[in-house]
Amino acid sequence: MTEPRTFTEQDPIRVFLLDDHEVVRRGLADLLDAEPDIHVVGDADTAEHALTRGPALRPHVAVLDVRLPDGDGITVCRELRSRMPELACLMLTSFDDEEALLDAIMAGASGYVLKQIKGSDLVSAIRTVAAGQSMLDPATTARLMHSLRGPAAPPSVPPELAGLSPRERDILALIGEGLTNREIGKELYLSEKTVKNHISRMLSKLGVQRRVQAAVLASHVEPQGSMGHTAH
């Protein structure tokens, strides 16, 4: 395990903001810039602007509104993290939407907070994800798994995971990182069609219908195979 990263006034957490409301962006910037160890390096009001400006600003943390006029923050999270794997994304939304939370987990977000959050709690959340920790606590993930799998959901790792082959575990772990079938194929040296076949069998074994549900289960599995070092 690497040590959590620490930030100081001389080396502050660089934060990028994405929200389509100027008042929200200004309020967040004022709140965060008042903290000695946090510096807002830039903001955007659309997904397009975020993807254009974000990477050049080299932020440590991106605070992303989920709903945007030209897309959504979850897609922006996935795109930014594909260019900056070390980036921590904190999803900001005005409603408690479980479907969006599932998608955020799948896109590799480090956390998910409601806009009603207190300023001090948001500051704490930014420090937490900047240090490399997740705000997606196990209780939330367990509750989501429970709701997806019905009342008989076990509190621990589902036994179905034990039935996955090493290759299926690798694919499940990559789904959990938000990779597309094509990206998974590149990572594991498989054709896109082979990946699709693996995923179909895997979803059937896991007893879930949708890829996003498998992403939640992915948080409970470590890759068993060689993660792209063996060509088959």
Indicate whether 119 and 200 sit together in one domain. Answer: no
CATH number, domain with residue 165: 1.10.10.10
**What is the reported pLDDT for 142?**
62
8's tokens: 């100081």
202's tokens: 């895997």
Query: Would 70 be classed as within a structural domain?
Result: yes
Integer distance in angstroms from the first to the last C-alpha of the chain?
A: 31
Single-letter amino acid code for the residue at 45:
D
**What is the reported pLDDT for 158?**
56
Indicate whether 169 and 101 sit together in one domain. Answer: no
Query: Would 110 be classed as within a structural domain?
Result: yes
**3-state SS, residue 150:** coil
- Asked whether the predicted pLDDT for residue 148 surpasses 50, the reply is yes
Indicate whether 34 and 111 sit together in one domain. Answer: yes
Indicate whether 92 and 137 sit together in one domain. Answer: yes
How many domains are contained in the chain? 2
Query: Would 169 be classed as within a structural domain?
Result: yes
Indicate whether 112 and 211 sit together in one domain. Answer: no
**What is the reported pLDDT for 102?**
74
pTM reported for the whole predicted model: 0.62
Indicate whether 139 and 177 sit together in one domain. Answer: no
**What is the reported pLDDT for 230?**
40
Query: Would 154 be classed as within a structural domain?
Result: no
Indicate whether 36 and 96 sit together in one domain. Answer: yes
Question: Which of 162 and 54 is assigned the larger pLDDT?
Answer: 54
**What is the reported pLDDT for 123?**
93
- Section 24-40 average pLDDT: 95
Domain end point (choices 145, 176, 206): 145
Query: Would 87 be classed as within a structural domain?
Result: yes
Indicate whether 24 and 135 sit together in one domain. Answer: yes
Range of the domain at 184: 159-219
Least confident of 43-47, 63-67, 93-97: 93-97
Q: Give the tens place of pLDDT for each residue, 79-117.
A: 999 999 999 999 988 766 666 777 777 788 888 888 888
Place of tokens 């799998």: 149
Which among 178, 59, 160 has a CA at the least distance from the CA of 109? 178
Domain end point (choices 81, 115, 145): 145
Question: Which of 218 and 65 is assigned the larger pLDDT?
Answer: 65
Please, which residues have CB within 8 angstroms of residue 19's CB and are 6 or more apart in sequence? Answer: 25, 28, 43, 45, 63, 65, 92
Query: Would 232 be classed as within a structural domain?
Result: no
Indicate whether 74 and 104 sit together in one domain. Answer: yes
- Section 49-62 average pLDDT: 95
Q: 3-state SS of the chain: helix, strand, coil percent to 5?
A: 50, 15, 35
Query: Would 179 be classed as within a structural domain?
Result: yes
Query: Would 151 be classed as within a structural domain?
Result: no
Type and span of the H or E element at 68: strand 67-68
Domain end point (choices 111, 145, 179): 145
> What b/e sequence results for 68-87 when a residue is b if at least 16 CB atoms lie within 10 Å of its CB, and e otherwise?
beeebbbbbbbbbbbebeeb
Indicate whether 172 and 123 sit together in one domain. Answer: no
Q: Give the tens place of pLDDT for each residue, 160-170.
A: 677 788 888 88
Indicate whether 31 and 129 sit together in one domain. Answer: yes
- Section 13-30 average pLDDT: 95
Indicate whether 28 and 138 sit together in one domain. Answer: yes
CATH number, domain with residue 108: 3.40.50.2300
Q: Give the tens place of pLDDT for each residue, 178-215.
A: 788 888 999 889 888 898 888 888 878 777 766 766 77
**What is the reported pLDDT for 209?**
65
